[in-house]
Amino acid sequence: MKVAVVGATGMVGEVMLKVLAERNFPITELLLVASERSAGKQLTYKGEEYTVIGLADALAAQPDIAIFSAGGATSLEWAPKFAEVGTTVIDNSSAWRMDPSKKLVVPEINAHELTTEDKIIANPNCSTIQMVMALDPLHKKYQMKRVVVSTYQSVSGTGVKAVQQLENEIAGVEGEMAYPYPISRNALPHCDVFMENGYTKEEMKLAREPQKILNDRTFSVSATAVRIPTAGGHSESVNVEFHNDFDLTEVRNLLSETPGIVVQDNPDTNTYPMPIYAHDKDDVFVGRIRRDETQPNTLNMWVVSDNLRKGAATNAVQIAEYLVENSLVSSTSEAIS
């Protein structure tokens, strides 16, 4: 399988390579791709040195799969070009997520919808992925009506400049600012750009993407997204109102039995999900599971995940694995033979 990782020098790109190696994805030829200014750099994968190439050279190589994590503008320009030469593109940006002709995929939920015709596949927003992972089994059982979510998002979701800003502020060093205000000892109710309706783009992703992933527009999502001074891992307070009543023991069992979910919920032992423990793990952790006592059929829970892994790199690699396992993409060697 000839695989291109586009944006290989970025934060998500680095984790992408780590996840591909950990999961022993079947790569016969690896293309590490970045912007022209990064071309020529050396990166290591499984102990071997690779030279970073530009997008034009990667396109000419006609990879079987290209995993993009290089921003929306790059994806809008280059993903169709790769698709035209037969490459299946898995895109981590927001460029294609709400395009009605493109699938928005969390493998545990809707990978079964993929076909050989899907040449550009969208990877959902990091906060969306962990939320829908927890909501999907409950929605199937109790039928969601309304979700209210408040996020507590790591600076790593913004990128390396934001991580550096936090580290500089902790060390008392002046440096480049990724945010309009200090992030250390602070919380910014401002993730992504503000839109005309007063919500941020991040909040609107959380409102719209779950409906597409679950293929159901009968429920609504209201979101407030907040950036906090953690270096990795997103947390979410999720309040979900169902049409049907539920039993808390059954809720915990449903979540525990869901692949990719780990329930950490024991107040007696102070057991609950935290980003410090979700770091470098692929699971979505759910705890603080309790009934909302102010209205019927309503549940509160706390959802945590590593935003660079399940929220980005791991989800994309899982999509690639599904394509290979279900013969939805053919390798170059197979085509030649």
Active centre residues (catalytic)? 126, 234
Q: Is 157 annotated as a binding residue?
A: yes
Closest CA to 137 of 263, 275, 316, 325: 263
CB contact at 8 A, 80 and 120: yes
- Given a contact cutoff of 8 angstroms between Cβ atoms, the answer to whether 298 and 239 are in contact is yes
Residue 144 known to bind ligand: no
How many C-beta atoms surround the C-beta of residue 334 within 10 A? Answer: 11
314 marked as part of a ligand binding site: no
- Integer-rounded Cα Rg, in Å, for the chain is 20
Give the separation between CA 117 and CA 101, rounded to whole angstroms: 11
12 is in an annotated binding site: yes
- Residue 288 annotated as lining a ligand binding site: no
Tokens 């934001």, residue located:
162
Is 38 annotated as contributing to ligand binding?
A: yes
Task: Say if residue 150 carries a ligand binding annotation.
Answer: no
The closest alpha carbon to 274, from 243, 245, 241, 234, belongs to 234
Phi-psi region of 123 (alpha: psi -120 to 50; beta: other; left: phi over 0): beta
Strand, helix or coil for residue 253? helix
Please check if 274 is assigned to a binding site: no
Distance CA 66, CA 6 (A): 7
Residues facing residue 149 across a β-bridge:
223, 238
Tokens standing for 43? 């990166």
35 is in an annotated binding site: no
Scanning 196-330, the segments in alpha helix (DSSP H) are 201-213, 248-256, 275-278, 314-325
Is 153 annotated to bind a ligand? Reply is: yes
- Please report, to the nearest 10 degrees, the dihedral formed by the alpha carbons of residues 166, 170, 174, 180 taken in order: 40
Q: Is 301 annotated as contributing to ligand binding?
A: no
Sign of torsion over alpha carbons 224, 155, 68, 26: negative
Any binding-site annotation on 9?
Answer: yes
CA-based end-to-end distance of the chain: 13
Q: Residues at the annotated binding site for substrate?
A: 153, 227
Q: Residues at the annotated binding site for phosphate?
A: 97
Q: Residues at the annotated binding site for NADP(+)?
A: 9-12, 37-38, 156-157, 307
Q: Residues at the annotated binding site?
A: 9-12, 37-38, 97, 153, 156-157, 227, 307
